[in-house]
Structure 1
Amino acid sequence: MFQRLKTKFAKAPEDASQEVLDADNIPQHIAIIMDGNGRWAKNRGLPRIAGHHSGMKTVKRITMEADRLGVKFLTLYAFSTENWKRPKAEVEFLMKLPQEFLSIELSELIEKNVQVRMMGHKEDLPPHTLAAVEEAIRQTAGNTGLVLNFALNYGSRKEMMEAVRRIGQDVREGKLSPDDLNESHFEQYLLSSDMPDPDLLIRTSGELRLSNFMLWQLAYSELWFTNVYWPEFSEAHFNEAIREYQRRARRYGGL
């Protein structure tokens, strides 16, 4: 069953690529789990870091395509709280990528009116990584176009646990009554409090799981999986994910 599901999502019918996207039904917020860099490199006899470097180029392509289509928010799962378990050399390389990417692409992001944000836990990031991201955030703060949100050192369970701790502290200090707490109030304590929930989640590389990514926010998101590794993920794949989204009826538990 799962293999059939993956195959269906990975390869669209030949005529589907000719379908024109409904400009009035573009997902407002798209989140992507960018997976498969290491396997892409291994299949080519290259070191894993070559896959990560190639994946950085895909970030540029998909960001520009999202902007062209009118997507308002694009959240990219760049580094999870679990990724620290990887080999030290690979982690160090991954921590250099934001600095390299932004040094090359920031001027064009500014030109395209893209606003850079970060969603994650800053305290564990190396100073050079955090400085590069915060500088990009500062320089693009006034931009009003696509929001490019990097989930960097992000973990959804940690996010929710910290939200619960902050709620508990506010209750102890008398700033909040437990009787007043509802879903909308809880969301204000999340790292994504200034964004709408994702309409569409894309995951590359054939894996069919969320991997501790935006577990609260993805409750009613449409999910789209592909076997394509992230370095090979193209604008055409991105468009097909949106086409599939537009074919679906979102009921939110209703009829």
Structure 2
Amino acid sequence: MDVAAKNSKTGAGEGPRHVAIIMDGNGRWAQSRGRPRLFGHHAGARRVREVVECCPALGVKYLTIFAFSTENWKRTQVEVAGLMSLFRRYISKEMNALAEQNVRVRFIGDRPRLDAKLIALMDRLEEKTAGNTGTHLTIALNYGGRDEVARATKRLAQDVASGALDPENVDEETLPKYLDTHVLPDPDLVIRTSGEARISNFLLWQSAYAEYEFIDTLWPDFTAEEMGRLCGKFGARDRRFGAVKT
């Protein structure tokens, strides 16, 4: 994808082309029902399908979801193990449906820390959907924005050291080429569910000009209707990107 396409911005009255979602509140949703946190994560995984399926009607070509952060390893061993099992089960169960729905799936994040079976499933899903031209679903798994920038900077430094990159040519368009998301446009709209008003180390570089929506809805209760409402609200915004209209 060329730089012009990657950095294209939606205009007034247009819906978001790329929506990124911090899917928060699974644990609290479960605990409010007297159930273990993993029950909420399973409910949240089921919600992903509805949101993916509503994207074409809303004009959302790219959907990026935050599934597991580099900080989530700090959770209990039981919860982490349960999440890893859920990811394997989700990929296995949804693989054929995603392929048939013309969804292109990518994973971003630092893969080596994940177990071999999960990595193999991720690779297989990416390969199976590589030719699809519908919604581009990107799943951030073992992902952290600072970690991504650090890994990208390391690769950039290696290219400078080898002579493949002239440091005099490094500018703000250079680093994005080394990010996990280098083939994706930047997000137009970032949604965080559950009432928390922070970005939690998600797409730090890419979201510099994104619009944000912090909503109270817990992720397992998030619906296609609410997604549509937020996309419509986005289209009503006057996005100037630092310019002043005369």
TM-score, reference length from structure 1: 0.89
| Matched ranges for 1:212-231 at <5 A | 212-231=201-220
**Superposed counterparts of 1:41-190, under 5 Å:** 41-190=30-179
Segment of structure 1 superposing worse, 201-210 or 65-74: 65-74
Contact kept, 8 Å, 2:106 with 2:126, in 1: the verdict is: yes
Contact 2:21 2:190 in 1 (8 A): yes
Alpha-carbon contact 2:58-2:228 (below 8 Å) kept: no
Deviations 1:231-251 (A, max 9, x none): 000111111111110111111
CA shift for structure 1 position 102? 2.2
List gaps (5 residues or longer) in structure 2.
Answer: 1-12
Whether the 8 Å CA contact 1:70–1:146 is kept in 2: the answer is no
| Cα contact 2:58–2:231 (8 A) shared by 1 | no
Q: Distance in 2 between matches of 1:68 and 1:133?
A: 27
Whether contact under 8 Å (2:102, 2:133) holds in the other structure is yes
Equivalent in 239, 242, 253 of residue 228 of structure 2: 239
Number of corresponding residues: 233
Deviation at 1:112, TM superposition (A): 1.1
Asked whether the equivalents of residues 115 and 142 of structure 1 are also in contact (C-alpha less than 8 Å), the reply is: yes
Dislocated runs of 4+, deviation >3 Å: none
The answer on 1:208 being equivalent to 2:218 is no
Structure 1, gaps ≥5 residues long: 1-23
Which amino acid in structure 2 is aligned with residue 241 of structure 1?
A: L
Give the Cα–Cα distance (whole angstroms) in 1 for the partners of residues 56 and 73 of structure 2: 31
* 1:162 alignment partner AA: R
Question: RMSD of the TM alignment (CA)?
Answer: 1.3
Which residue in the other structure is 2:25 paired with?
36
Cα distance in 2 for partners of 1:137, 1:40 equals 31
Percent identity, aligned pairs only, is 46
**Equivalent residue number for residue 17 of structure 1:** none
Q: Displacement, 1:71? A: 1.3
1:192 pairs with 2:202 = no
**Match of 1:95, SS?**
helix
CA deviations 1:190-238 (Å, max 9, x no partner) are 1110000000000000000010000010000010111000000011111
Q: TM-score, normalised by structure 2?
A: 0.92
C-alpha distance in 2 between matches for 1:241 and 1:133: 30
Shift of 1:68: 3.1
